[in-house]
Chain A
Amino acid sequence: QQQVKQSPQSLIVQKGGIPIINCAYENTAFDYFPWYQQFPGKGPALLIAIRPDVSEKKEGRFTISFNKSAKQFSLHIMDSQPGDSATYFCAASEDNAGNMLTFGGGTRLMVKP
């Protein structure tokens, strides 16, 4: 059972565009929602994370929007650059599960120059 559903699977935007990646979850015990960026041949690296007591968090060009009632959260990348081309994963974890992460299926983002 896929507990975190991510869409779209792939996304192409022009430089300067604002790609938006969406995730939905089912487990109401999740209380930590990080986004990871992965380049080919590398491990995932944390971009930004949010907890359900806030509806939005910004770090640089990256923003997470969180809708607790809908059990959905999304990543927005402002002023996207070709260097942002990577695969992005949303994830979620429960407080009492160490930091065991349940990942979405990933979104392959290409930012064209």
Chain B
Amino acid sequence: AQTVTQSQPEMSVQEAETVTLSCTYDTSESDYYLFWYKQPPSRQMILVIRQEAYKQQNATENRFSVNFQKAAKSFSLKISDSQLGDAAMYFCATFPASGTYKYIFGTGTRLKVLA
């Protein structure tokens, strides 16, 4: 069975600073996808970044980047130049490339951005 672990229930970062949210996962799949979603107080689930496991290059989207360590099954999210609007719950998720067709989510990390 696939599992996703986010060991930091809550993190804080000063505005304009950098923060890293950790995520580890366990899967027996050889091919899969990894995602970070953001859920602000509005409740909307917003895709932040996506990584294909077969790609060695870390995905980047503007101020958001990942550190994907496939052997260690680690998929951390780095947010640079943090902004007040980054405050939200962040969920890590895995998705197999075949078979069960469903996301497995972690328990989330609440990020607070301090002005």
Physical interaction between A and B: no
